[in-house]
Amino acid sequence: MKKALVCGAGGFIGGHLVKRLKSEGFWVRGADIKPHDFSAPPWDEFLLGDLRDQAFCKKVVDTQFDEIYQLAADMGGAGYIFTGENDADVMHNSALINLNIVDLAHKFKARKIFYSSSACIYPEYNQLDPENPKCSEDSALPAHPDSEYGWEKLFSERLFLSYKRNYGLDVRVARFHNIFGPEGTWRGGKEKAPAAVCRKIAEVNANETIEIWGDGKQTRSFLYIDECLDGIRKFMDSSFNGPVNIGSEEMVSINQLAEYIMEIAGKKVQIKHIPGPQGVRGRKSDNALIFEKVKWKPSKPLKDGLRSTYQWINEQVKQISVKH
Ligand code: NAD
């Protein structure tokens, strides 16, 4: 039986990935600083601890894994990574985790290791026009990410690729573009746009008002979690090292996203635009390279994923209001 390790298994993508790997027959060890917030992923073993701590990492990577997925990071949505207030933590915490895990993967001869980078590594100067952002993999340099989160990801991509060049570690580096779905952070300050907008709409009655940061004309593309898992697994099974985008090419403005969610919720609400952290003006995945190398592209429209995400967040909102 193949053995996999998921670092960050208590998180959104990690929890779903554990389920996927189990359904494919892997033996799975998960590791995270916290248990999963919303479900009990079916891992065979879960180690609770701090991956910044080398001693803990040595317990987590103590054998040769067939596949390691390094997803653990200090991360959040715009309200966490673009305010500047968490920059030192984001850089320090995530860099330490990556330094620890990649080195142990090399020492214990992991057969393959996946690293989740981000679209946030792309230079701000290519993402000023909301209708025409450029995010092809070869546009990453000269580097000018708009957040320290992006700079750390860029450093760590290069770290993983250095282990490939110098030690032959078989790495896969993917740049995720806004992954969303049920069982992701939906409140508390670390949530991302789709979850935040679903929550805001779920919390109000028809014709009431919700707030959106900025003018809402900023654009993004959002990828549903199941599609993301398909992309990760196909990429892992390919012989391509990356870096490669894993995202959707269906670009919408945040105002359009809110309209879609209102339609799904069956309620029309008013939008009040307020100042707030937004990130770049436009961003969309460019899937040419992943399609060429891995033959993967998303298969479903954004609205499909929003439907199940809204349903799940609406349930969470209802449960909380019952408790209060
Ligand atoms: P998440 O925050 O739900 O998961 C990250 C997990 O890492 C959390 O469970 C957290 O507890 C864990 N973690 C953080 N610090 C740790 C530490 N010191 N020790 C042990 N565990 C620690 O985020 P996610 O959305 O599941 O993202 C997974 C990965 O994908 C991250 O590396 C993230 O940067 C990357 N990514 C995600 C998106 C997205 O849209 N969700 C986009 C780009 C990149």
pLDDT tens digits, one per residue of 305-318: 999 999 999 999 99
d(CA 101, CA 111): 14
What mean pLDDT comes out for the span 30-44? Answer: 97
In angstroms, the CA 38 to CA 11 distance is 9
Is residue 266 within 8 A of residue 202, CB to CB? The reply is no
CATH topology of domain 3-179+223-246: Rossmann fold (3.40.50)
Distance CA 161, CA 216 (A): 37
- Which tens digits make up the pLDDT trace of 196-251? 999 999 999 999 999 999 999 999 999 999 999 999 999 999 999 999 999 999 99
Q: Specify the length of the chain in residues.
A: 324
* Percent over 70 (pLDDT), the chain: 100
Among residues 117, 102, 178, the alpha carbon closest in space to that of 153 is found at: 117
Q: Average per-residue pLDDT in the chain?
A: 97
Residue 10 in contact with ligand 1 by CB distance below 6 A: yes
> According to CATH, what is the number of the domain 181-221+250-281+300-318?
3.90.25.10
What are the residue ranges spanned by the domains of the chain?
3-179+223-246, 181-221+250-281+300-318
- The one-character DSSP state at 176 is E
CA distances from 117 to 49, 114, 127, 161, 201 (A): 22, 10, 18, 12, 30
- Which helix (DSSP H) or strand (DSSP E) does residue 32 occupy? strand 27-32
| Global pTM exceeds 0.95 | yes
Quick check: CB of 34 below 6 Å from ligand 1? yes
Does residue 149 carry a catalytic annotation? yes
Alpha carbon of 120 to ligand 1 centroid (Å): 14
